[in-house]
Amino acid sequence: TGASCVYALLGAKQLGWRFLATDADPFAVEIANRNVQKNGMSERIEVVRVPADCMIKVVDVIRSHPEVEFTFCMCNPPFYEYDEYLRNNVLTNVGSGSNCKDRPAPHSATVARSNELAVTGGEVAFVSRLIEDSFVLQNTVKLYTSMVGKKSSLVELRKKLGRCLNVRSTVTTLYQGKTHRWVLAWTFEAQIKLDK
């Protein structure tokens, strides 16, 4: 969820939704909880610390809350592998997919802690774990989504999703200045309509 807990706060305040937000960083969890309390959203948002020694297992988080019906799972993973992060210093748009010279540059630099930017195996490993968990959970969560920082990761991730016959997926592109990001969404629910 990150220290700001921004997505959960927006969803709770603007739409009245309830959130279970997770993070492995104890500092981020502490600050996120403060932000939730300052905004009067403690009844709508629960921030949970998950183990940092392994990839987050969504299966475990969801099964620890059997009384909750989950509509969607939203993931904003670390985009980089540790070696890649150190090599490229992340402040460049390496792998952003940007080739738009007519788009303005972003107005801000990357401001994130290293654990928010890099993880063992990079975003493919992180999102692959979420996909594997979704194969176990299936309809327990109606819609799964993840931000993807590098277009090259989409091929491998969609191939993983293709291993399951009853899953449907879609991708959309987000533009901010010269930076492109992608959102991969998938569902096991037949009644949820996804663009091709």
For residue range 106-157, what is the model confidence (pLDDT) as tens digits? Answer: 455 544 555 555 567 778 988 998 999 999 999 999 999 999 998 999 999 9
**Residue 71 reports pLDDT greater than 70:** yes
70-75 vs 45-49, strand pairing mode: unpaired
Mean pLDDT within 169-190: 94
- For residue 76, say whether it is annotated as part of any ligand binding site: yes
Topology classification of domain 67-187: Rossmann fold (3.40.50)
Mean pLDDT within 27-46: 96
**Residue 90 reports pLDDT greater than 90:** no
- For CATH 3.40.50.150, list the domain ranges present in the chain: 67-187
User: Are 77 and 127 spatial neighbours (Cβ–Cβ below 8 Å)?
Assistant: yes
What is this structure's pTM? 0.80
Helix axes 6-15, 26-38, angle to 10 degrees: 20
pLDDT computed for residue 60 by the predictor? 87
Mean pLDDT within 77-96: 54
Q: What angle do CA 138, 155, 2 make, to 5 degrees?
A: 65
**Residue 100 reports pLDDT greater than 60:** no
> What does the mean pLDDT of the chain come to?
83
Mean pLDDT within 22-42: 94
Mean pLDDT within 48-59: 74
pLDDT computed for residue 136 by the predictor? 93
Q: What angle do CA 11, 16, 20 make, to 5 degrees?
A: 60
CA–CA dist 6, 151 (Å, integer)? 25
